[in-house]
Amino acid sequence: MANYQNSKDLTQLTLGKETTYTSKYNADLLQAVPRSLNRDDLELQSNNLPFKGEDVWYGYELSWLNTQGKPIVAVAEFRFPCASPNLVESKSFKLYLNSFNQSKFTSWQQVEEILVKDLSMTSGSPAQVRLFKVDKALPLEIADINANCIDDLDVVIKNYDYDNLLLKGLQNSNNEMIEENLVSHLLKSNCLITNQPDWASIFIKYKGAKINHQVLLEYIISFRQHNEFHEQCVERIFIDLSEYGSFEELTIFARYTRRGGLDINPFRSSTLHTAPNLRTLRQ
């Protein structure tokens, strides 16, 4: 359980509370969560983060009316820099996007500009937004997974509570440096507030001494009963791997399944700023 779960910043959220949907555009529905909450827990300084990256969201339930009252539907891509002061709380994001449903806008460009303005204000840093027609959303094409899946390893699991001490023995310092792409589809955590399950495929790319795949898999599975937001889980994994391993390069990318028409995909890297297009069948 995260130490900051009962923070005032979280208890004031609509997440986990009964809400009323509105179909008229309302930017005030958006709510921010300070990234500092879990970063303080991880002893991270916002002005000296050990990683780069972004949070990439996809919205599958975005619709509005044109000036003649005809409904328009789109798929949306949202990108937030990981250095932004706030993350956007997902339920408020869903309510906000639904508020476009019965509102009229003059063009796709106007909708995109409004989204950029509102989301940048909430996150505290410039957000990027792209809108796609549902049959021409290139970032959402299924990608070939160029990574070694570790899920078929024969392991005995007795612990389903987060435990970073499982990473002892992650690497043998005598091993020669290698570059490796790994993936596990067994990452599961729970929402910090509602305890609803969150499912993800996690991609790990590194350059360093070879990782013990069994140790890594046992650690990933230990998140199964852990309560934390998507972005916070990925940052915790990056920090833990960095603490127990020695890497010249390390990249973590989690592709979470969607809930409420949104999926959230945190990307953290020691070298890269931008997440790749890497959609799996689960999205």
pLDDT at 77: 97
pLDDT at 109: 98
Q: Is the pLDDT of residue 10 over 70?
A: no
Q: How far apart are CA 20 and CA 223, in angstroms?
A: 32
Active-site annotation holder among 191, 233, 240, 263 = 191
| Domain extents in the chain | 8-140, 148-269
141-169 as b/e, with b when 16 or more CB fall inside 10 Å?
Answer: eeeeeebeebeeeeeeeeeeebeeebbee
What does DSSP assign to residue 165? G
Per-residue model confidence as pLDDT tens digits over 76-90: 999 999 999 999 999
Active-site annotation holder among 55, 82, 118, 198 = 198
Is residue 149 part of the annotated active site? The answer reads no
The percent of residues above 70 in pLDDT, for the chain, comes to: 92
Per-residue model confidence as pLDDT tens digits over 184-206: 999 999 988 888 999 999 999 99
Per-residue model confidence as pLDDT tens digits over 105-151: 999 999 999 999 999 999 999 999 999 999 998 888 888 889 999 99
Instruction: Identify the CA nearest to 185 among candidates 255, 138, 235, 252.
Output: 255
The two three-digit tokens of residue 181, written as one number:
């792409």
Fold designation for 148-269 = GTP Cyclohydrolase I, domain 2 (3.30.1130)
Q: Which CATH class is domain 8-140?
A: alpha beta
The whole model's pTM is what? 0.92
Q: Is residue 277 classed exposed, middle or buried when 0-12, 13-18 and 19+ CB atoms within 10 A define those classes?
A: exposed
Q: How far apart are CA 229 and CA 139, in angstroms?
A: 24
pLDDT at 35: 93
Q: Is the pLDDT of residue 173 over 80?
A: no
Phi/psi of residue 142, each to 5°? Answer: -65, 130
Domains 8-140 and 148-269 belong to one CATH topology? yes
